[in-house]
Amino acid sequence: MIFLTALPLFWIMISASRGGHWGAWMPSSISAFEGTCVSIPCRFDFPDELRPAVVHGVWYFNSPYPKNYPPVVFKSRTQVVHESFQGRSRLLGDLGLRNCTLLLSSLSPELGGKYYFRGDLGGYNQYTFSEHSVLDIINTPNIVVPSEVVAGTEVEVSCMVPDNCPELRPELSWLGHEGLGEPAVLGRLREDEGTWVQVSLLHFVPTREANGHRLGCQASFPNTTLQFEGYASLDVKYPPVIVEMNSSVEAIEGSHVSLLCGADSNPPPLLTWMRDGTVLREAVAESLLLELEEVTPAEDGVYACLAENAYGQDNRTVELSVMYAPWKPTVNGTVVAVEGETVSILCSTQSNPDPILTIFKEKQILATVIYESELQLELPAVSPEDDGEYWCVAENQYGQRATAFNLSVEFAPVLLLESHCAAARDTVQCLCVVKSNPEPSVAFELPSRNVTVNESEREFVYSERSGLVLTSILTLRGQAQAPPRVICTARNLYGAKSLELPFQGAHRLMWAKIGPVGAVVTFAILIAIVCYITQTRRKKNVTESPSFSAGDNPPVLFSSDFRISGAPEKYESERRLGSERRLLGLRGEPPELDLSYSHSDLGKRPTKDSYTLTEELAEYAEIRVK
């Protein structure tokens, strides 16, 4: 909107034209409402030396050249005009004063166009000016809205209508301005080219709700039925506001999830879905959908929707909670401990919702927590009984997972009560049962023979481990009058323990060693001795010779040493060994130690010549019995 504060340039140019040159000045364009009138201001000039007695003029429509026979709008000489302008045109200016202002009435759309003026000073002094005015016939007021209307910033909207008809003056009023502000009529203003306009202003501070509002202006002419209305829609620019978004979303692992974000703004916003600073999807739109196929726990978290345009931005977040069964628990902590130490074991997992965590040992609950992701198990002063397999179990409504772990308690050897020696015929087997961690080394000591046998001597010692218990068996073969002393010693890096193995059934050792055949032989020997003594006494009684003296004791053979049986007893020894296995409940074939040799003789095999008399008699008696 241009407000005039000085004389129009048009009139300044007219004042300066008094120089005696052909020229004309009129507005290049002018407008008027249909059915009203319009006054086209016009000034012209010609050389002073012409000095005509009478000055005439002609207005043409759409062409300045008479030879083209353009419609005559007005002609001062003859008053003959084109039929379209009959009764509609007249000259308001005084041609003698070089004023060629034209008035057109009862305007209709066909009168819109170019208007040219031709000066006629008589004779050849006629001149058609190239300057012309374009008449625009309108039927709506002109509402001028600023190119940018921003919410929260005051704006001025104007309604402008032409006021170039001296016979009819327009009056302006606003339509649909309620809630925006009160209008102020500025009045009649003159434009740069000498035309006039009627102006009304409306000031207000728009809101986002005013965007798209239809604002109207009405021009009416008093004492007529002429009324013209014009409308303009407000294009209010405002920053985005997110108006549609999911609330917190819960989804089961593997399901499909859709997250929707919608924003209101002008112009439309750039919508962006983000997570942890990573752009997942973006588009210029009023709403944007984010599709998540087969969600996993890794997609659990906070998602942000950002809406922005040139006037600002807005953002909102939504939390996606992926529900899933517990992961396989992990165990961090001590898995090897020394007896007496305090052990701390941490079992942890991940799930949604948080699980129930439980630690078991042999179906006994040791610790449990509800809706926690970690469970701490404290075992003060661990003992060998704490050694073993444990289970950490995590469960929620979506599933259950478990992890097994072993706690190894290391301790010094403990010799169990099952340790002993037992006799079966001519075989003695000694069991040393040891509980320890780590596995001990076991040695058997026979003090009477100054012999020590350890596990490395596989020919004599058989060992078998079950869990923390090690069973070592020493097998002795031969004959003895009394149970042998056997000391078992177990040793590991935490200490050593020794035990003299008790003998089960020691008073029957000799008879167990001799067996049925040996008993018959022994009985025969005893009878022979008795007979010998009886016969000797009889001789003594008969001779009663004083020179008779008792001789040496008769040779009696005692089996005081353990001796190895020879090849003839191989079948019998295998039969006895089978019985011993059933007695001990052991698998495999334990090795045997022959005690009729010193420690330096271990590994040598006896021959038939090493049999004692007792053994030969026993063989003979056994054959006779059979």
pLDDT tens, 10-44?
433 444 344 468 899 999 999 999 999 999 999 99
Strands in 72-75's sheet, in edge-to-edge order, are 29-33, 126-138, 113-120, 56-61, 72-75
pLDDT (mean) for 547-564: 33
Comparing 50 with 3, which gets the higher pLDDT? 50
Query: For residue 198, what pLDDT band results from cuts at 50, 70 and 90?
Result: very high
Given CATH 2.60.40.10, say whether it is the number of domain 140-234: yes
Comparing 278 with 555, which gets the higher pLDDT? 278
3-state secondary structure of 386: helix
pLDDT (mean) for 394-403: 95
**Count of CB atoms situated within 10 Å of the CB of 98:** 19
What is d(CA 269, CA 239) in angstroms, rounded to the nearest whole number? 8
pTM over 0.75: no
Closest CA to 332 of 320, 311, 349: 349
pLDDT (mean) for 510-517: 48
The whole-number pLDDT of residue 219 equals: 94
DSSP class of residue 299 equals G
Task: Tell me which range, 412-421, 504-513, 614-623, is most confidently predicted by mean pLDDT.
Answer: 412-421
Decide: residue 176, CB within 10 A, 0-12 exposed, 13-18 middle, 19+ buried. Answer: middle
The whole-number pLDDT of residue 38 equals: 96
Comparing 117 with 7, which gets the higher pLDDT? 117
Domain residue spans of the chain: 19-137, 140-234, 239-320, 330-410, 416-504
- Domain 416-504 fold is Immunoglobulin-like (2.60.40)
pLDDT (mean) for 240-256: 93
Superfamily of domain 239-320 in CATH is Immunoglobulins (2.60.40.10)
CATH of domain 19-137: 2.60.40.10
CATH of domain 330-410: 2.60.40.10
pLDDT (mean) for 368-375: 95
Closest CA to 305 of 266, 268, 264, 259: 259
Same fold, 330-410 and 416-504: yes
What is d(CA 398, CA 597) in angstroms, rounded to the nearest whole number? 73
Query: For residue 349, what pLDDT band results from cuts at 50, 70 and 90?
Result: very high
CA contacts within 13 A on the Cβ side of 508: 10
The whole-number pLDDT of residue 584 equals: 42
User: Could you tell me what percent of the chain has a pLDDT over 90?
Assistant: 60
The whole-number pLDDT of residue 519 equals: 52
